[in-house]
Structure 1
Amino acid sequence: MRTKNRLSAKAAASLGAGKFADGGGLWLVKRENGGAQWVLRVTVHGRRREMGLGTYPAVSLADARREADKARALVRDDVDPIKAREKARRDAERNLHTLADIAADAFESRKAELKDDGVAGRWLSPLNIHVLPKLGRVPVVEIDQIDIRDTLKPIWHDKAHTARKALNRLGLCLKHAAALGLDVDLQAPEKARALLGRQRHETTHIPAMPWREVPAFYQSLTDGTVTHLALRLLILTGLRSAPIRFAHVDQIEGNVWTIPPELVKGRKGATQAFRVPLSEEAVWVIEDAKRHAREGYLFPSVRKGVISDATMSRHMERLGMDYRPHGFRSSFRDWIAETTSTPNDVAETAIGHVSGGNVERAYKRTDFLEQRHALHTRWANHLTAKAGKVVRIG
């Protein structure tokens, strides 16, 4: 009797319920209810294993024999065919992750690093707007430099900064996918950069009002509204908009404003808050703002939360100005450089910058609070037309 290929297609179709050997461990199992399936019995690593090869007749006799041959070949190589099939299935499922899936997972893993856990959505926005509409449904393992080039080409020159951010985020997503075990091309973003070429666009700095013009603008902010008071405090302190927008009465004690480190850009990883010395003018602005306070926040929005990032900018736009609130930091820094003899460390700390390397900062524990208080007082005097001669700070 033949040890293999005992069954024929015609016989397999006519058999009743029972177990029928085709040889070499391949069996056709037919049930009373009419169902049937192929089963392969093998011995691997000293264990007897039964491996399903599919239902009959969806899987024909010829197909079952081919799958059985593949499994027997694995057994000869001392590989468990059931485990090998499970691994292949897991790999196939894993490699079906789309770029949209990976981007969402990468964002979740990085939320703790982002301001306010990334609630503003800025980390994902370059991808959501310019990449995912085209590549979001593509399995991440299939994305190559051609896909990336074709996606970013429309904005590569006209929206250069945004395009670079999108390319950077794509690179992070691919690294995240690689960490998950996906077979991605980590070099695809750099290859795409080479294909896209050098950008024509030059980054333009945020327009800053010349420091000599700032007093006139400051003194025009007289209506006592949230917007006017927020702009006044921003100009007086030289801070970015986030600490101003989220200013809370609990952060202020006397003439010192203590800002949580997560609200001060450039101080990532800091374990200490940032102290801001307040001039008499700044204290007066804060006291005036308290009448608007809601839930302790000095600058609430009309509906809920605090004023938006664009509120102060829109005020300047309505006045027909090209300048923007962020530019007042440069105005303040230029005024320091041109009218005082302030040491660089004090000047940089005054605008919330961290100066020096890690070793230098480890030994330099001071935040120059007294020197900065004198500097901010002098700046307030300039803004309110009380400025005197050039003064040395430090």
Structure 2
Amino acid sequence: MEINNINDFQVAENFKRYVQIDTQSDVQSTTVPSTEKQKNLSRILVEELLQLGIKDAHLDDLGYVYATIPSNTDKQVPVICFCSHVDTSPDSSGTDVKPLVHANYQGQDLVLPDDNKIVIRLADHPDLKDQIGNDVITASGKTLLGADDKAGVAEIMDAARILMANPEIKHGDIRILFTPDEEIGRGVDHVDMDKLGAQYGYTMDGERAGTLEDETFSADGVKIKIDGVSIHPGYAKGKMINAIKIAAEIVEALPKDRLSPETTRAKEGFVHPTSIEGSVEETVLSFIIRDHDTKKLADHEKELEEIVKTVMEKYPAAAYTFEVSEQYRNMKEVLDQHPRVVDIALMAIERAGMKAEKRSIRGGTDGSRLSFMGLPCPNIFAGGHAFHGKQEWVSVQDMQKAVLTILHIAALWEEVS
């Protein structure tokens, strides 16, 4: 069967159904998954996989979906995994999403009907120039869309359907993994790697059609706890040391023209304050530290602590602690040791009719941590754009290209084995 001749896609229909199920994760929650409602979509996915004839599809207690498309070849083919996350970002509401299809897009402004102040303009979204004549899906203006990453979920599900219905497409065992809580940095915390049993993986969680990301930030978190001195404000002269004000001084002392998300691009790293919480007596400053060069994280952390020390010298009766925690590492460190996993994906993108583009991402994916857990795992486009906000969009045709890419990856691993 010629994969590129497939035209009975169901990916758009899948996607429109999935985005209407609220799966927003919650960074403040301590449960696993962080919100029980994520399982509402996961249960549907399991049922649909079982209906396709995938017999081992199941949802575990922690919100992870596992399934296997069995090998249909006599060759010894490495087991590969396709992974996407079911949760949507806490940054914008995912409740009552109304997906709208703007058929045969012609470059016009897309005014979203539930809030006409939300306008998706070609001038602001230059990738829309590649969508002339295509069908663009947006939300209605009150919510995000959820293309991050329900586009990836829908694409894997449609590829699974096509593979199960077309045994002439030869492939080895293919594992499917759907994770919760990726948007709050916990997406692979509880993956059972032995159960997964894959040798190579691909997250379907990228952006523009044709792109593959084999390089991410390396990431640390820093928590700075400041211990001040609390005194009744009516009798505080010469005695109170306000931890909140010290924290504010530290933030104010950060570099203004470099080392921040607002002033960096490409592979430049940053030191980014994400929250200040506390009281006069004790305040906690949280930072994320990012760089593509893992060794530079220590340099950024040293510079940050020097700033803290300089501020704290003015307050000898106060104290601080400086705690660094590893979050994830640049997956390129692993992928460079396994070039075939990237080469096959690039070849699959080309076979699906696109110009393949390998690039780095100023962020991380589940694949970042999976790579260091023993599953080399680059990130492939899912087609979504403007993630985490009300202007999020995806095109039907790009999702279809992602389905073809999955099919070609599966076939290529069998072909080269």
Which TM bucket (shorter chain)?
Answer: under 0.3
Structure with the larger RCO, 1 or 2 (CA within 8 Å, 6+ apart): 2
In proportion to residue count, which structure has more helix? 1
Structure label with greater radius of gyration: 1
- TM-score of the aligned structures, taking structure 1 as reference length: 0.19
- TM-score of the aligned structures, taking structure 2 as reference length: 0.18
